[in-house]
Structure 1
């Protein structure tokens, strides 16, 4: 059980921190979307799904092909290392209309940020509870966010914010 808990915590800490920072940054950048969530708290789950779709906390994850697979005319041979680009998949215009717009009404429950199938994130239930609580608290207690300087955490794996200056928070 110790190994399972270690993996659960190890995989979930950086991604949760990244997702929380992305929530604040996106609501600050898109005040009209934050206003929708404030007016309709039932949008909280959809808003979090859209945050994960729009800015996937994990850029890439590796897998090894166990058999030859053809994808759109390209054969990936058995044994090949494959990089799964979550953010690119979440912005696929063949799947999402206006993929480069942040829209909390979209409710993209099929985003790729938690992985899929047997490789799906084991901690996604906890991540949703944490993020929903944060979004709900922001929506109840904060009218608007004004952002200052942002410094991204340099990483090949996560999309995370090292520092985000919140210049002004108007209390509700």
Structure 2
């Protein structure tokens, strides 16, 4: 591999995604089936096919076996750090819009409950497991369950003696002595 980072522009990324989704379509496999065969979650499998996640060598090998229509060049490209961007046109899609609406509607309450249970901090979107499932509701209707399981990242008190940005590691730093 010549570079660890993707050098694809927007058009190159769009072409890659089209090729990946075409290979998926030809395979006849759903994201659930690909996830089961690659030992990932269904949402992670979808992220790979949409160029939103970097494939590990293990994942690339599993994809090669699971969806043989993906070219070697595309498998190599998938192992580079992707440029994660959002598509402005996607925001007008009704499903995407409803997700944005739900987050906006519940944001203050979600933050309050997270902070009440965990303290001052945030839920990581980087260290996150996510999946989509369907369950039956009490009236027999299909209900979509979206699980976002993100690592909690506490905000820290920025103490001077622990500040490594000055080139001094905490192991060699001593606390100032307090006068009595």
Q: Same fold judged by TM-score > 0.5? A: no
TM score, norm. by length of structure 2: 0.27
The structure in which a higher percent of residues are strand is 1
Tell me which structure has the larger Cα radius of gyration.
2
TM score, norm. by length of structure 1: 0.27
